[in-house]
Structure formats: C-alpha cells, structure tokens
Amino acid sequence: MKSHLGRRPFSTMELHTLSHGYIYGDIRLPREQAKHWHFWLPLIAYYSGAYSDEIGHLQLSDIIVHQHILCFHFHTHGKIKARIVPVHQALFDAGLDDYITLVKQQGHTRLLFDLPAKSGRYSEKVRIWFSGEGDRAGYLQKCDIPSIDQLGMKTAISSLRLNFEQQIRIYAIQADNKAAFNYLLGFNEYEPTDFADVATLSNIIQQIRVINPQAHWQRFLQRHTI
C-alpha cells in the first residue's frame, strides 16, 4: 500500500464510528458551526480515494458523464495523475443530486463551496476540522478515535484514501485488472492518460462497502441541537 510513513487506514469499527458520528446522526452539537463540506468531504474521500485538496478543488464542471456514467474528474494534485472516478451509488443515496441542485441554485461553481482555502490549500482547513489542532478537538476526537494508536500509527482524513486503496486492490485483482487499480489511484504505473472502459471502473467502485446506508444530506440539515 502506498501510504504516508506511519499512516494507517481506519479499522472497520472506526469507519462505522466515523460514519455514524454526530455529523451523520440527528444531533447537532452546541456551538457547532455546521458546513455542507463537513458532511460531504469524508464520504467523497472514502468512496473515491481522492485527497481532501482534490475534493476541495472540484468544480461542478468536474462532475461529468463519461460513457453514460457520472464521474468525478480529479486533476489538481501534483503528485498523482489526473483521473476520472465513477460516483459510488452511496453518494447518490446520500442526496448528492439534491445537493448539486442547491449549489447550482445558489450560483456557486465549486462543489464544496463553503470549504475555505487556508494558505492556498483546502486540505489545511480539513485537517484542522478532522484531526484538531492544539487544544481544539477535531471530528476524530469527538468520535473518541485517537489520531495515534498504541503502535504509533496515525490516522487522518487521508486514511480514508488508504481504505479505498485496500478495497480497490481486492476488487481489481478479482477483475484481473491491475491497470484499473493503478488508474483509480492516480499511480504513474498506469501510463496512458485515459482509461478506455469506464464501465469496468464503475463495477469496481460500486463494490466498495457502504459504511452508513442511513447517511443523508437532508438528515444532516434537519439535525436538532441538544
């Protein structure tokens, strides 16, 4: 697995905890400054394998229909290649179509329009919200998940890409298509620019395990404060 040094994917129980935390439940924490991107970014990261900065950069024009399949077009990360990643059904089930309609109605062009950049990068703001900083607890801590385990291995928002990588590796091997694995992760081992068979990519993506079938954006909007 091509991971950052000392970084690990989330365990199955940790994924369950994250995807059933207050963001995806019915309770809005007191003084919580809820943003649309708090709901969408972890889900898109898990189901697409994209880095938070790539997701933050997504324009509505980067959500494209290719070979009759709706895809994200990621192309803003300097270390990995541009690629299209079919949208997982779980994102539609979570209300992605309705959210895109809102973004358009409000006249925005960027999908996660309420995610601000810090020092020119969206990932900085995501890191602080997700992992905390100093005395400020992040979503991880609020879900009672340590950012460093007993073996010294770290978890962060990019750990969701490692969970994606774990699963895609298995499903690509089962499909006897290592090229699809390298393409979906943006690895240089896949030399062509495009991937000819988007249906194959979609078949692999759709096998990613759904971590919370009850997660829905409208539920996020309707949460009440305790």
Q: Would the pTM count as exceeding 0.75? A: yes
Domains delineated in the chain:
12-25+32-211 (1.10.443)
CB 176 within 8 A of CB 28: no
> How far apart, in whole angstroms, are the C-alpha atoms of residue 155 and residue 12?
13
Q: What is the pLDDT of residues 83-138, one digit of tens each?
A: 999 999 999 999 999 999 999 999 999 999 999 998 889 999 999 999 999 888 99
Q: Is 9 exposed, middle or buried (0-12, 13-18, 19+ CB in 10 A)?
A: buried
SS (HEC) of 44-58: HHHHHCCCHHHHHHC
pLDDT per residue over 10-64, tens digit each? 999 999 999 999 999 999 998 899 999 999 999 999 999 999 999 999 999 999 9
